Amino acid sequence: MATATSNIRSPSITLFGKGTVSYQRTAAPFQIPQFPLNRPRLTALFASLHDGNNKDDGSNKITKSVGLEELFEDSSYDVVSKDSPFHPRPLSSTQFSNSVSAGSRLRVAYQGVRGAYSEAAAEKAYPNCEAVPCDQFDAAFEAVEKWIVDRAVLPIENSLGGSIHRNYDLLLRHSLHIVGEVKLAVRHCLLANHGVRVEDLQRVLSHPQALAQCENTLTKLGLSREATDDTALAAKYVAFNKLKDTGAVASSSAAKIYGLNILAEDVQDYCDNVTRFLMLAREPIIPGVEKPFKTSIVFSLEEGPGVLFKGLAVFALRQINLTKIESRPLRNQPLRASDDSNNGSKYFDYLFYVDFEASMAEERAQNALRHLKEFATFLRVLGSYPVDTTML
């Protein structure tokens, strides 16, 4: 399997790979720091972030690397009052200057409109929070970075549909930290306007993954399918347009919000339908050992036989269990020629996202990353956070 061969230079990437970081004419080798439990701040835990003026000069260094405090020290943000109607319009990246992050309630961004499963996940993760809808995943990341909201809760994988690749890519592009996870049981309902029966329906609207998760049921009903950006948005569209031949696959909460009738409950093909969400913040949390922790990292490796095996072995040698591994293409250099001059092959370069069951406060986790750093071309800790052990 081919892997990346050089460091990735991006304004929002924290590097633990080979090379040096240069800032204000100083240079120091990359190190994986110690993680004592009594440290007042953890910014140094995940090294430095990079500002938008980084330049790639062709050398093996990144210029103008700044710490998290420095990143926001000189930043100013307009704070303007914002009314909250019953059905607020989702934020887009162009509307951030009209929002406010004030008051005692935690503001938590999610993708979608009211009634979305992501809203339920945000409220489960942060009870009594003010859930702020965003039109796209990108907008939710930006809302946190620009201090419009305090947190974001976004899906990363589903037990039936698999990984949400877009959010893996955004984790690398942005500078946010994973501070927790929450798992939500997804129970799809078939919704329609009052007075509409199942036999009246000709088509159904919903998010592509929701439609795929209910494929068998919808096929039996003989309904055509049309995709929307969000399950709750589909319910909202059916209700506001008073459609008589169209239903929506969404949550029971969406039915209540938009005044729709529930024609059928639990229409998903499999009952064990669970989505895992990540809780994102501007700063990391202090990892502990008093309860189960999980750590998420992303790294790349040189091309060669057994290199990925070697990379994963650093965890097996220390009895660290891996709960997730995901590969994503390295977009700014997707193809690389073979080092063998007699072989004209080209390889895809990849990044590897790994979740493992250990806290960065544990010596074995620190030693595993030190070991991995010896041969990884790029390494970033995305977060070390408590495992969601709640019953669904």
Residues acting as catalytic residues = 275, 277
Q: Which amino acid is at 226?
A: E
Give me 26's structure tokens. 């100083």
Backbone angles phi, psi at 124, to 5 degrees: -75, -40
- Residues near 390 by Cβ (< 8 Å), separated by ≥ 6? 182, 183
Q: Name the residue among 2, 43, 31, 28 with its Cα closest to residue 373.
A: 31
Q: Which amino acid is at 26?
A: T
Q: How far is CA 137 from the centre of its chain?
A: 9
CA distance 238 to 314: 52
CA distance 169 to 187: 27
CA distance 345 to 338: 6
- Residues near 102 by Cβ (< 8 Å), separated by ≥ 6? 79
Give me 5's structure tokens. 């061969």
Q: Name the residue among 174, 180, 178 with its Cα closest to residue 139.
A: 174
123 sits in which H/E element: helix 117-125
Specify whether the CB–CB gap between 348 and 304 falls below 8 A.
no
CA distance 115 to 236: 9
- Residue matched to tokens 């939710």: 140
CA distance 86 to 98: 18
